[in-house]
Amino acid sequence: MALIVQKFGGSSVANAERLQNVARIVTAEADKGNNVIVVVSAQGDTTDELIEKAREISPDASARDMDFLLNTGEQISAALLSMLINKMGYRATPLTGWQAGFLTDSNHGRARIRRLNTERLENEIGKNNIVIVTGFQGINRYDDITTLGRGGSDTSAVAIAASLHADKCQIFTDVDGIYTADPRVVPGANKLNSISYDEMLELASLGAQVLHNRSVEMAKKYNVRLEVLSSLENKPGTIVKEVSKMEKMLIKGVAKDDNIARISLVGVRDEPGFAFKVFSLLASLKINVDIILQSIGRDGTKDITFTVAADDVKAAVNALNDAQESIGFAKLAWDDNVSKVSVVGAGMESNPGVAAKMFEALSEANINIHMISTSEIKISVLIDKDLAKNAVNAIHEAFEA
Amino acid sequence: MALIVQKFGGSSVANAERLQNVARIVTAEADKGNNVIVVVSAQGDTTDELIEKAREISPDASARDMDFLLNTGEQISAALLSMLINKMGYRATPLTGWQAGFLTDSNHGRARIRRLNTERLENEIGKNNIVIVTGFQGINRYDDITTLGRGGSDTSAVAIAASLHADKCQIFTDVDGIYTADPRVVPGANKLNSISYDEMLELASLGAQVLHNRSVEMAKKYNVRLEVLSSLENKPGTIVKEVSKMEKMLIKGVAKDDNIARISLVGVRDEPGFAFKVFSLLASLKINVDIILQSIGRDGTKDITFTVAADDVKAAVNALNDAQESIGFAKLAWDDNVSKVSVVGAGMESNPGVAAKMFEALSEANINIHMISTSEIKISVLIDKDLAKNAVNAIHEAFEA
């Protein structure tokens, strides 16, 4: 008897018909004699509707009040799915985040999981019940309701799979796996049968939008076997697992991230400690910085440019302007009309031709590169947003050829 | 500094405008320097919409799954009200049933409060926060979510007021107090300034539909000063409290209850233990029996007729039919086309003229009486449902004259 964790996103549970489909997938697994823990998101547009309701009341409601509100979305999905599975003659139990044992920090709206108290989950599994857990949520140590932020339901599912040593964690979505590029952008993109955690991590954090990087990081850390597959088509998806370094394929995919903005600090005094001041300030606001580019000093000053998520740019700009004096820079400029395009693939570091090939493709497509960043398994460039689609296609074609 | 509990029903929190109004009432109390705990119901038709959603999925979902679902309704109201009050510059904290400490039995859909753990509530009050509690809900000892059933939010409010020795418990609704009869049925009905717990209890359990009997019972037991008033008009309502027996007014009100059905067991063997079998069976199903009428035995058999809530009649009839052999009766008949009309007032027992006057009024209106039941402070009759409105008016007129 295996233990399977299955996560279904908002579009997979959007209405009664879709829920029927989910119930079929879940009970088929139970019919094999397996224990199943299901993690669900809120139905379709429920979260957006709740946010709209809140905006009507108060445009800047506290993150704590928002968490208290948004929490209800997954609870409705879980209740409905439980009713359906119970009606089919199986035994299902719906559990909220706190009932399932999710203890988080107090970062409302983007909480991190501190601990998963698995007592209740183990208890239900011990009774052979199909457990339906509301994704995306937990409570902090004051018993206040928190939400995990973007990609939270994936993270909930992986946390359960990791804590209970599940045999696999299936992420059902509206695409049938991980592709070499976004199939909506690149028509010729190919589906991958498998991908390593590190490659997936780069793709996820680069905006592949299938799996959130937090869930992949956690899956890697606890060696959880992930599978990304479609809830609508009954066929194998893409397995995310630790793979051998002897992989033949060099490039695993081309990704595009539009949720990005560039901030430049101009005329910084060329003294030690500057970078520390800037990035510790942003870290204290939980703002992640991605690519960092520093100009060579001249006339005792230098410039520094970096990228943050577009969602965070206002908070970052405000905080930096407030601290202009203590940090010491002449001018701040920012721009969110940019995209990041990346190629990802293990073994890239030992093949200098990859970067050259990418830059060649962009050059031939007449696309200007603003920033470049490389890691062992990826190369990213920052370009104008309106050229990003062209760039992805040009790069994909160059590597497929 | 006083502690005030204020409960707002579904129509009082139905939309953003109504919520604004509630926020004004709540903060006006806080401006007086008082601590306020607010109990809210689900917005307007939210509960009905959720029930509809569930029916679409499964017409007979378990009460436990329904509780898990319905629970979200009050949570949405509480979140929105908290946002509004916080926006106005006050400090509000929304709490779910379990966060507020409501521990109930496991009777899903109609749970009873076992204990209220006031630690969190006291903590918030200690910080001078305005606390907004979701009414109608709690958790059982397995940490499963329960709901308190009809009138549950009133009961939640009274339980908080009782446990924290609040100075008063205000029940805001869409009428401005308790009337001598339903003003929608009897145009000349008068508003009462005050009423005793016992009188209110009879009126509530007889279908006056303003306060649920469970909340009044609890208020009486713990001597909670209740006030029923309108959330839309700024004027005094009706106070429910322990009053002197020397009241002058004999009749406090005329009430009508349409949620009633009559069950008759015909040809029962005239042996001891019969009533016990019938009513313990119904009690085990948590079905309350109201009026009971037993015919005088003849030919070794007798008939017994009693009333239950119309909601319960199907369950009662099924259970009784299943047990026909062990209980021992020839035939079961039932009818939910009936209403109960009652007059209520302290001191009635010492005035035999009340019953006579009521029966005279009904006779003059040509209304046939099926069953009669009396207590120290009320007289109830069961009549055809289509005549109930006429009956209430006829009786009200007779006593007002």
CATH number, domain of B285, equals 3.30.70.260
For residues B139 and B103, the answer to whether their CB atoms sit within 8 Å is: yes
Among A280, A302, A335, the domain boundary falls at: A335
Helix (H, G, I), strand (E, B) or coil at A211: coil
Same domain, B302 and B165: no
**B139 CB-side CA count, 13 A:** 15
Cα–Cα dist A99/A88, whole Å: 24
**Closest CA relative to residue A172, chosen from A210, A220, A224:** A210
Going A342 to A346 to A352 to A357, the CA torsion angle's sign is: negative
pLDDT-based confidence at residue A208 (cuts at 50, 70, 90) = low
Chain position carrying tokens 């009936």: B338
Q: Do B266 and B149 belong to one domain?
A: no
Residue B232 belongs to a domain = no
Give the model's confidence band at A288: pLDDT under 50 very low, under 70 low, under 90 confident, else very high: confident
Among A81, A66, A65, CA closest to A21: A81
Number of A to B CB contacts under 8 A, please give it. 101
Query: pLDDT at position A202, please?
Result: 78
Strand-pairing partners, residue A331, are: A266
End position of a domain, from candidates A277, A301, A335:
A335
- Are A57 and B84 within 8 A, CB to CB? yes
- What does the pLDDT average to over A291-303? 74
Predicted TM-score (pTM) above 0.90: no
pLDDT tier at A383 (50, 70, 90 boundaries)?
very high
**Contact across the interface for B86 and A61, Cβ inside 8 Å:** yes
Instruction: Clarify whether residues B9 and B120 are in a common domain.
Output: yes
User: Could you please report the per-residue DSSP string of A65-113?
Assistant: HHHHHHHHHHHHHHHHHHHHHHHTT--EEEE-TTTTTEEE-S-TTS--E
Name the nearest CA neighbour of A155 among A206, A114, A94. A114
Q: What is the pLDDT of residue A250?
A: 60
Identify all chain A residues contacting B121, using CB atoms and an 8 Å cutoff.
none
Tell me the nearest-neighbour CA distance from A65 into chain B, angstroms.
6
Q: State the pLDDT at residue A33.
A: 95
A167 and A266 belong to one structural domain: no
Same domain, B121 and B7: yes
- Listed as ranges, residues in chain B with pLDDT below 70 are 205-209, 243-250, 296-298, 346-352, 376, 401
Token reading at B346: 């302290």
Using CB atoms, pick whichever of A61, A80, A96 lies closest to residue B57.
Answer: A80
Give the pLDDT of residue A373.
Answer: 79
Distance, in Å, from the CA atom of A11 to the CA atom of B353, rounded to the nearest integer, reads 68
Q: Which domain holds residue A26?
A: 3-174
Residues of chain A with pLDDT > 90: what percent?
A: 55
pLDDT digits (tens, 9 = 90+) for A213-261: 889 889 999 999 999 999 988 889 999 988 654 444 467 788 888 999 9
What is the per-residue pLDDT for A305?
86
Per CB-CB distance under 8 Å, the chain A contacts of B50 are 76
Order of strands, sheet of A145-147, starting from the edge strand that comes earlier in the sequence: A113-116, A102-104, A137-139, A145-147
Is the residue at B345 inside a domain?
no
Q: Residue A234 has what pLDDT? A: 87
In a domain, A203, yes or no: no
- Show residues of chain B in contact with A16, CB under 8 Å: 56-57
- Domain CATH number, residue A41: 3.40.1160.10
Query: Considering the domain boundaries, does residue B61 fall inside one?
Result: yes
CB-based contacts of B205, cutoff 8 Å, min separation 6: B213
3-state secondary structure of B19: helix
Residue of A20, A21, A50, A57 for testing the chain B interface, max B β-carbons within 10 Å:
A57
Residue B364 lies in a domain: no
Residue B277: strand, helix, or coil: helix
H or E stretch at B299: none
With contact defined as beta carbons under 8 Å apart, do B203 and B255 qualify? yes
pLDDT at B248: 45
Domain count, chain A: 2
- Name the token pair of B38: 């607010």
* CA trace torsion A325, A326, A330, A332 (10° rounding): -100
- How many residues are present in chain B? 401
Residue for token pair 């209304």:
B367
Whether residues B15 and B142 fall in one domain: yes
The pLDDT of residue B105 is: 95
Whether residue A32 is found in the same domain as residue A137: yes
Please check whether residue B230 lies inside any domain of the structure: no
Spatial separation of the C-alpha atoms in residues A106 and A286, rounded to whole Å: 13
Helix (H, G, I), strand (E, B) or coil at B162: helix
Kindly state whether residue B272 falls inside one of the protein's structural domains: yes
Cβ contacts of B125 within 8 Å, gap of 6 or more: B3, B35, B37, B131, B164
SS3 state at B25: helix
Instruction: Note whether residue B380 is domain-resident.
Output: no
Summarised one tens digit per residue, pLDDT across range A10-69 is 999 999 999 999 999 999 999 999 999 999 999 988 988 999 999 999 988 999 999 999
Q: Mind listing the pLDDT tens digit for each residue in A313-356?
A: 999 999 999 999 888 899 999 999 999 998 887 666 656 677 77
Measure Cα distances from B331 to A374, B104, B266, B274, B304 in Å.
Answer: 86, 39, 5, 15, 11
Q: Are residues A268 and A165 in the same domain?
A: no
Residue ending a domain, choose from A174, A199, A222: A174
